[in-house]
Every structure is written in structure tokens, then in C-alpha cells.
């Protein structure tokens, strides 16, 4: 008689313990991916998501041309009307949920809902149309949501270094500005890591500040000068 006990299958979860497949992740972090129209939000979510990202894209039509700013994105034929959704599992029980938010002004009403409970945001930018990401930066500054600015380096766009981008977009010195390629998994993940580290720094600074001491920036943030 063979008395050796067979090993449990590799994905065996002892009774009573957390089973991610049934119970979902222990910790879920929510990150928004924002920025102007055509900056690469859908691309970035697709590059890092371990599940096939949910996309709600619709064909761009002549009707939308009146309201969607298509300058510099002539090759684009679809647009995200609600959002992109992706997921990354960091380690057992910790998952990042990514929400690519629509960039067009006509979808801004959704941002308050999407940004609730978010750890922070990645604002993607394209150097050919920097101003298209201005509104997103303004929004997260006003909300006090931690964010990083990631310049998606398109092949045919002029390359600028982060300090130049910071000056052009009038970004606070403490906000990380980095270059990325939204199509590459490793590059997109570096952006997410930069955001998580930045959010942790902000949370750490807030926790160590005496309650009477005001934060580093006025609330609400002063209006950004257009230009």
C-alpha cells in the first residue's frame, strides 16, 4: 500500500484562508491614467494589464469632429468614450486597477466619480500637443490627488527633457516628470512605480506633519495661468 500523502495541487488554498480567485485581492490600489486626447492612455493600460483590458472605444465620426480636438492626431480612428480598465497583480493579494479616463472635455463629468479613492494619477503628455494635458494636471492639482507627468515619446515628436517639460507645463518641483514609451510594458511599469513612490512620499509627509501645520500648497490650488 502506498502510504505517501500526495502533495496538494500548487494552487491549493487551505480551508478558511484567503483565496484570491474567490475573494479578490486583499489590497486593491486604484490608479488613473489621464491626459489629452490621443496621448496614449489606452496604449499604456494595454501595455501593462495582465488581463485583456476592457475598452470602450467607439469610431470617431464627423459628428464628433466639432467637439473633439483632432489637431496632431489625424491617424486616430477610435476614441475612449467611457474608460479603459486593466489590472496588475503586484504580489499575493495586492492588485493595481488602472482606469484610463477619457480625455475629451465632454467627458469631464466622469472624473469626480473615477478619481474617488484613487491612489493617484498618471498624466500622459505628448510634446506635440502639450496643452492637451494641461486640464488633467489642473484637475489633479485642485483635487490634491498625487500625480506624475509621463511624456509619451512618440517617434515623430521632438524630444524634450523633463526639466523643459516641467517649465512648459508649469509643474510644481515636487511632482515627478518622466519620459516613457506607453507601448512598452517595462516603461509603462516604471511610470506606475514612480507614481506609487510619489504617493507614498506624500502620505508619509502628511503623516509626520503636526495637525496644526498647513500642507505645502494652498487649497484650492491657485488658478493656472493659461498660455
Ligand X SMILES: Nc1nc2c(ncn2[C@@H]2O[C@H](COP(=O)(O)OP(=O)(O)O)[C@@H](O)[C@H]2O)c(=O)[nH]1
Question: Which grid cell sits at 101?
Answer: 479616463
43 touches ligand X by CB under 6 A: yes
> Total binding residues for ligand X by CB under 6 A?
16
Q: For Mg ion, which is the closer residue by CB, 42 or 133?
A: 42
String of contacts with Mg ion for each residue 26-55, x by CB under 5 A: ---------------xx-------------
49 touches ligand X by CB under 6 A: no
80 touches ligand X by CB under 6 A: yes
Residue 125 · residue 153 · CB < 8 Å: no
Task: Report the nearest approach of ligand X to the CB of residue 84 (Å).
Answer: 7
Residues 6+ apart with CB under 8 A from 163: 177
Residues 6+ apart with CB under 8 A from 214: none
Q: For ligand X, which is the closer residue by CB, 20 or 69?
A: 69
Task: Report the nearest approach of ligand X to the CB of residue 216 (Å).
Answer: 30
Task: Report the nearest approach of Mg ion to the CB of residue 32 (Å).
Answer: 13
Query: Which of 46, 47, 68, 80 is in the footprint of Mg ion by CB under 5 A?
Result: 80
Residue 45 · residue 100 · CB < 8 Å: yes
182 touches ligand X by CB under 6 A: yes
- From 18-26, 76-84, 182-190, 218-226, give the range in contact with Mg ion by CB under 5 A: 76-84
Q: Which long-range contacts (CB under 8 A, 24 or more apart) does 135-144 make?
A: 135/36, 135/105, 135/108, 136/34, 136/35, 136/36, 136/103, 137/169, 137/171, 137/224, 138/221, 138/224, 139/34, 139/108, 139/111, 140/34, 140/115, 141/172, 141/221, 141/224, 142/220, 142/221, 143/115, 144/219
Query: Which of 49, 115, 133, 152 is in the footprint of ligand X by CB under 6 A?
Result: 152
Residues near Mg ion (CB under 5 A) are 41-42, 80
Residues near ligand X (CB under 6 A) are 37-43, 76, 80, 103, 152, 154-155, 181-183
Amino acid at each position: 500500500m502506498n502510504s505517501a500523502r500526495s502533495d496538494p495541487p500548487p494552487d491549493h488554498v487551505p480551508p478558511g484562508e484567503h483565496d484570491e480567485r474567490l475573494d479578490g485581492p486583499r489590497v486593491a490600489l486604484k490608479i488613473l491614467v489621464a491626459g489629452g486626447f490621443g496621448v496614449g492612455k489606452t496604449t499604456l493600460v494595454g501595455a501593462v494589464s495582465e488581463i485583456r483590458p476592457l475598452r470602450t472605444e467607439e469610431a470617431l465620426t464627423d459628428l464628433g469632429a466639432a467637439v473633439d480636438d483632432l489637431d496632431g492626431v489625424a491617424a486616430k480612428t477610435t476614441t475612449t468614450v467611457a474608460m479603459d480598465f486593466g489590472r496588475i497583480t503586484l504580489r499575493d493579494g495586492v492588485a493595481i486597477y488602472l482606469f484610463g479616463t477619457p480625455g475629451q472635455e465632454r467627458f469631464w463629468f466622469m472624473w469626480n466619480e473615477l478619481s474617488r479613492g484613487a491612489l493617484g494619477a498618471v498624466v500622459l503628455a505628448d510634446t506635440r500637443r502639450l496643452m492637451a494635458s494641461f486640464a488633467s494636471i489642473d484637475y489633479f492639482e485642485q483635487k490634491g490627488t498625487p500625480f506624475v507627468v509621463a511624456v509619451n515619446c512618440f517617434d515623430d515628436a521632438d524630444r524634450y527633457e523633463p526639466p523643459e517639460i516641467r517649465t512648459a507645463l508649469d509643474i510644481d518641483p515636487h511632482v515627478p516628470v518622466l519620459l516613457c514609451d506607453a507601448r512598452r510594458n517595462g516603461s509603462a511599469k516604471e511610470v506606475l512605480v514612480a507614481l506609487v513612490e510619489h504617493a507614498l512620499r506624500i502620505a508619509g509627509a502628511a503623516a509626520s506633519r503636526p495637525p496644526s501645520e498647513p500642507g505645502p500648497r494652498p487649497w484650492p490650488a491657485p488658478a493656472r495661468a493659461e498660455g
